[in-house]
Amino acid sequence: ETGVTQTPRHLVMGMTNKKSLKCEQHLGHNAMYWYKQSAKKPLELMFVYNFKEQTENNSVPSRFSPECPNSSHLFLHLHTLQPEDSALYLCASSQDPSIRGTSGGDTQYFGPGTRLTVL
Amino acid sequence: DAKTTQPPSMDCAEGRAANLPCNHSTISGNEYVYWYRQIHSQGPQYIIHGLKNNETNEMASLIITEDRKSSTLILPHATLRDTAVYYCIVRVARGGATNKLIFGTGTLLAVQP
């Protein structure tokens, strides 16, 4: 699927590095999400942005810093990470989640993920 | 928040129908049942969702029991490429400002040749 793209697909970084993950959605959605999937664990929601405003921070450490400059782009800035932060980081987007209606129309669509390894 | 229970794994022969069950006995009246799947190391892929009625699309069918306490995802003709972890999720909504998908451990469907 090309609706939600993520770059880079793979990233290896040291604990003192600063890097950023990028997500872009081409679906005309207004909400974007960051999830983390560690080995053998379920996906965990990290952040939610709706119309560029952060609406959810799921107790994520400050070494992860999200940025949403517009409804189509989402970044995750990384600094001084730990080896246990190694995981698959997934971005998703949806329509305005306050829209309920009868169709559940705020279905989330995911990108392919960035496989992050912290040495 | 309604939780879901799925078997950890299932096998299915290629070309046969795969029926994946999910229990969600504490589901609320306004909560939808969503199904996603995740092929190894890729992002989750949306499959289908429903509220009360059975639903069908080009990928699968979703059968929801009348009491809504359980559902079954049906892949009518499974192929090797359908091997994946399948997640049944009851969507949680809080005040319309967030749209949480709470993923469990899902069912690993292994399609056998």
pLDDT tens digits along B30-45: 888 999 999 988 999 9
- DSSP letters along A15-78, please? TT-EEEEEEEE-S--SEEEEEEE-TTS--EEEEEEETTEEEEE-S--TTEEEEEEETTEEEEEE
- Judged by CB atoms closer than 8 Å, whether chains meet at B99 and A43 is answered as no
First to last CA, chain A: 31
* ∠ Cα A54 A55 A56 (to 5°): 100
b/e per residue A102-113 (b: at least 16 CB within 10 A)? eebebbbbbbbb
pLDDT in the model for residue A103 = 54
Residue B100 has pLDDT above 90, yes or no: no
CB < 8 Å to B104, chain A: 42
CA distances from B35 to A2, B104, B113 (A): 20, 12, 24
Mean pLDDT of the region B51-63: 94
* Inter-residue contact A4 to A92 (CB < 8 Å): yes
Q: Cβ–Cβ of B98/A4 closer than 8 Å?
A: no
Q: What's the DSSP call for residue A107?
A: -
Q: For residue range A31-87, what is the model confidence (pLDDT) as tens digits?
A: 999 999 999 888 999 999 988 888 888 899 999 999 999 999 999 999 999 999 999
Q: For chain A, what is the mean pLDDT?
A: 89
pLDDT given at position A20: 97
CA neighbor of A92 nearest in space, from A44, A53, A20, A60: A44
A27 touches chain B (CB under 8 A): no
| % residues pLDDT > 90 (chain A) | 68
> Residue written as tokens 């990470």?
A81
The residues in B 45-64 lying below 8 A from A, measured between CB atoms, are: 45-46, 49, 51
Q: Are strands B61-64 and B55-56 parallel, antiparallel or unpaired?
A: antiparallel
A113–B contact, CB cutoff 8 A: yes
Q: What is the pLDDT of residue B97?
A: 45
pLDDT at A58: 87
